[in-house]
Amino acid sequence: MRRTYWVSMLAATVALSGCGTSFMSLPAQPVADQATTPDAKVALYLKSQAHPAVVKVIGRVEHSVRIARNTDDSATACRRAFAEGLQKLRVNAQDRNANAVVNIRTSFHANDPEAATEFACGVSPSAASLKVAGDLVVIGAR
């Protein structure tokens, strides 16, 4: 009985050892460029990216984003999660009458990307996830 238990536990450990989530840091600009069009009602500015003067600060928002990977590779799944997070920030801004989101940052658990031009993402065989946060503001003329 004991032997069967230990063999079963060893088999489960081996089977689940490949299911871990790994941290990725990817370039943010390609996704942010696709998410921001010149005629967009809400402008998006990553981290310390230059932006017009802030007229009014409305508040900070953050969202957790988790998407199924489907058949995507890790980087594609992370880009989809980041794009979804940016869209959530944009919807919050529109709902609260802001015309921009500044200081957009991402993280995955305690991991933040080192470079100001990158975003953080956690990816597993089944999903990609991240936390995205930004300041909702009204800015002057763009």
Please, which residues bridge with residue 129 across strands?
66, 122
Residue 15, pLDDT score? 43
pLDDT classification of 12: cutoffs 50, 70, 90: very low
Examine residue 2 and state whether it is found in any structural domain, yes or no: no
Structure confidence by residue, pLDDT tens digits, 55-83: 999 999 999 999 998 888 999 999 999 99
Examine residue 5 and state whether it is found in any structural domain, yes or no: no
Q: Could you count the other beta carbons within 10 Å of the beta carbon of residue 128?
A: 27
Examine residue 49 and state whether it is found in any structural domain, yes or no: yes
Residue 19, pLDDT score? 57
Question: Which uninterrupted H or E stretch holds 13?
Answer: helix 2-16
Q: Give residues with Cβ within 8 angstroms of 52, minimum separation 6.
A: 100, 139, 140, 141, 142
Q: Give the count of domains, the chain.
A: 1
pLDDT classification of 9: cutoffs 50, 70, 90: low
Segment 119-131 mean pLDDT: 94
Structural domain boundaries, residue 78: 20-139
pLDDT of 112 higher than 70:
yes
CATH number at residue 116: 3.30.110.70
Decide: helix, strand or coil at residue 48.
coil
Examine residue 4 and state whether it is found in any structural domain, yes or no: no
Cα radius of gyration rounded to whole Å, the chain = 19
Calpha distance 28→104 (Å, rounded): 10
Structure confidence by residue, pLDDT tens digits, 17-52: 445 788 888 888 877 766 566 667 899 999 888 999
Examine residue 6 and state whether it is found in any structural domain, yes or no: no
DSSP sequence for 113-130: -SSTTEEEEEE-SSEEEE
Examine residue 15 and state whether it is found in any structural domain, yes or no: no
pLDDT of 122 higher than 90:
yes
Q: Which pTM was predicted?
A: 0.80
- Cα dihedral across residues 43, 68, 73, 121: positive or negative: positive
Looking at every residue in the chain, the average pLDDT score rounds to 84
Examine residue 86 and state whether it is found in any structural domain, yes or no: yes
Examine residue 28 and state whether it is found in any structural domain, yes or no: yes
Write down how long the chain is: 142
